[in-house]
Amino acid sequence: GQQLNQSPQSMFIQEGEDVSMNCTSSSIFNTWLWYKQEPGEGPVLLIALYKAGELTSNGRLTAQFGITRKDSFLNISASIPSDVGIYFCAGHVNFGNEKLTFGTGTRLTIIP
């Protein structure tokens, strides 16, 4: 099946720094979603994007749906310790099965 290329694979940053990660695909998606997974838990939805070019914020998180519909970006401003986790992008195409294609994840570690 399709796969999304998510980068970077891991990030080590200091508290207070801003974070940027992205997801790219060789094919078009109609919806982009960003999830966060903490240890021992399932992914939790952070932001959903439905239109090319859309920029959406959720607190310190901002995500954008790329104009080409083949990429998406997630930024976290002023990181705090509870931002630690694995961030996944997911894309959806309207084939009628509600199938999400997931990226391989970005592991975020915050150095005290």
- Note the residues at the interface with another protein (CB under 8 A): 1, 3-4, 6, 31, 33, 35, 40-45, 48, 50, 88, 90, 92, 94, 97-100, 102-105
CA distance 102 to 90: 4
Looking at the Cβ atoms of 59 and 98, the one nearer to another protein is 98
Q: How far is the CB of 12 from another protein (least distance, A)?
A: 18
Looking at the Cβ atoms of 12 and 50, the one nearer to another protein is 50
Q: How many angstroms separate the Cα of 96 from the Cα of each of 77, 89, 93, 99, 101?
A: 35, 20, 8, 8, 14
Q: Report whether 38 contacts 50 (CB < 8 A).
A: no
What residue type is 80 in one-letter code?
I
Looking at the Cβ atoms of 70 and 92, the one nearer to another protein is 92
Looking at the Cβ atoms of 84 and 100, the one nearer to another protein is 100
Q: How far is the CB of 25 from another protein (least distance, A)?
A: 13
Q: How far is the CB of 77 from another protein (least distance, A)?
A: 23
Q: How far is the CB of 55 from another protein (least distance, A)?
A: 18
Q: Report whether 3 contacts 91 (CB < 8 A).
A: no
Residues 6 or more apart in contact with residue 5 via CB below 8 angstroms: 23, 24, 25, 103, 104
